[in-house]
Structure 1
Amino acid sequence: MTDRRADRTEAIMRAALALAQEVGFAKLSIEAVAARAGVGKHTVYRRWPSRGLLFLDAVLTLDQHGLAHRDTGDIVADLREVMTRAADLLGRPPWGPLYQDLIGEAQHDPQVAAALNQRFIEPQTADTLARLRAARDQGQLDPDFDLDLAMEILSGPLYFRLLITQQPMTDTYIDRVLHAVFAGMSPRPDKGDTTTTR
């Protein structure tokens, strides 16, 4: 019975993804998903109280292409690797359009927003902060730099291009972002040295 329930749940999420890619989330309905999955709509509602939460679960089943940071000892290279993967993931189907729809739904549905934050945003943030913290401990970053702010500055430009301007997130753009951020994050000269050159 458990295997059958799992199979049915998977079929419903596959149907939701397929329909969302065909007609867009705005036209997605529980009735259409149920029909595509070959189940009654009450079967869907028993698992998900709203189409937004169904859509969230369905999108998060997609492969996220290893967005965890490695620690090669080079913080810039490690961040560039993950930012490039994220840009590639979000810049093309199926992830890109589906994730944009998911972000849009989160603006209207507090449950979707909370679940998206807990299950996707927070783990990604924690992983990036852990990598930045390790780099700071290794002396690659200024010890006083605000790592939470650094995380927001690093991710902000990617979301700006994804959601607002819809310009491509190229490798060159990512390098520009990293250069701008690390100009302020690099270790500074000895703060106790007040010597001036005349």
Structure 2
Amino acid sequence: MAKTPDASRRSDRSRRAILDAALALVGEVGYNKLTIEAIAARAGVGKQTIYRWWPSKAAVLLEASLSLAGDAAEEGGWSFPDTGDLAADLKQVLRATVDEFNDEKYDAPTRALTAAGATDPELGARFTEKLLEPQLALYEQRLRSAREAGQIAEDADLRLSVEMLVGPLTYRWLMRTAPLTHAFTDALVDRVLRGLAPH
């Protein structure tokens, strides 16, 4: 007796194929030339399948990037260590961020979403809420525990401190002003923590 096809498995497979196709294509052609038609053709599905799940290419790309970030977290890329050594923990996370930014698999979709979010306020807000804020919150949480342990000044502004850590890294990546290296992020951590030292 023939087995009945598992619709949910087929649906998951199609969904994954669409997300993978979006990530691959945005790296090849850029966001502006990315189309739903091209994603459908690459994924081997009909256009209507995509529109049934997402309203636009931006929405597809956002979910694809969230999925990619989830994969990175599962591989150990996005858990924030708390070994008691704040400098070492920050350096470990920022080095992993450098490695991601230098990896084409992450670089192209993140650039595309950043560019699209600059011109599409709704997408920009969703990108910030779903992808950026959860990561910044992990930094803030780690700095809070360091402040409670007396490792940084009691009056340290945690949000400003996080932005001082990730801002220069993001700027260098976005503007391509200089190579992104572990040495750069290590120096950044040392400099920021010097400013946050207890009085």
TM-score by length of 2: 0.89
In structure 2, what is the Cα distance between the partners aligned to 1:53 and 1:21? 16
Higher helix proportion, which one? 2
Contact 2:26 2:112 in 1 (8 A): no
Q: Give the C-alpha shift of residue 110 in structure 1.
A: 2.4
Q: Cα offset for 1:175?
A: 2.1
Q: C-alpha displacement at 1:14, in angstroms?
A: 1.6
Corresponding residue for 2:102?
Answer: 91
1:30 maps to 36
2:108 pairs with 1:100: no
Q: Residue type matched to 2:54 in 1?
A: W
Query: CA contact under 8 A between 1:59 and 1:98: conserved in structure 2?
Result: yes
Q: 23, 30, 43: which one pairs with 1:17? A: 23
- The equivalent of 1:152 in structure 2 is 163
Equivalent-residue separation in structure 1 for 2:28 and 2:167 (angstroms):
29
Uncovered stretches (5+) of structure 1, i.e. residues with no partner: 189-198
For residues 137 and 187 of structure 2, the distance between their equivalents in structure 1, rounded to whole angstroms, comes to: 23
Alpha-carbon shift at residue 46 of structure 1 (Å): 1.5
More relative contact order, 1 or 2 (CA 8 Å, 6+ apart):
2
Determine if the alignment matches structure 1 residue 111 to structure 2 residue 117.
no
What is the aligned partner in structure 1 of residue 54 from structure 2?
48
Letter in 1 for 2:157: D
Is the CA contact 2:26–2:108 (under 8 Å) kept in the aligned structure 1? no
Is the 2:83–2:89 contact (alpha carbons within 8 Å) kept by the matching residues of 1? yes
What is the CA–CA distance in structure 2 between the aligned matches of 1:79 and 1:15, rounded to whole Å?
Answer: 33
Structure 2 CA distance for partners of 1:50 and 1:166, relative to 1, 3 Å: farther
Gaps of 5+ in 2: 1-6
CA distance, structure 1, for counterparts of residue 80 and residue 138 of structure 2: 7
Q: Which runs of 4+ in 1 moved over 6 A?
A: none
Listed one character per residue, the Cα deviations across residues 37-80 of structure 1 (whole Å, up to 9, x for unaligned) are: 22221211121111111111112222325222111111011000
Answer whether contact 1:53 1:111 (CA < 8 A) is retained.
no
SS where residue 78 of structure 1 aligns?
Answer: helix
CA RMSD of superposed structures (Å) = 1.4
Residue 6 of structure 1, aligned match among 12, 15, 23? 12
Contact 1:68–1:124 (Cα < 8 Å) also in 2: no
Contact 2:161 2:192 in 1 (8 A): yes
Name the CA distance, whole Å, in 2 between partners of 1:177 and 1:67: 19
**Shift of residue 115 of structure 1?**
2.0
Q: Is 2:21–2:42's contact at 8 Å kept on the other side of the alignment?
A: yes
Cα shift at 1:166: 4.2
Find the structure with the greater CA-based Rg: 1
Greater CA drift, 104-113 or 149-158: 104-113
- Cα displacement string for residues 85-125 of structure 1 (whole angstroms, at most 9, x for unaligned residues): 00110122111122111111111222321221122111111
Question: Match of 2:30, as an amino acid?
Answer: G
Query: What is the TM-score normalised by the length of structure 1?
Result: 0.89
What does the per-residue CA deviation read over 1:139-169, in whole Å, with 9 as the maximum and x for residues that have no partner? 1000011111101111100111011134212
Identity percentage over the alignment?
41
Partner residue in 2 for 1:195: none
**Aligned equivalent of 1:131:** 142
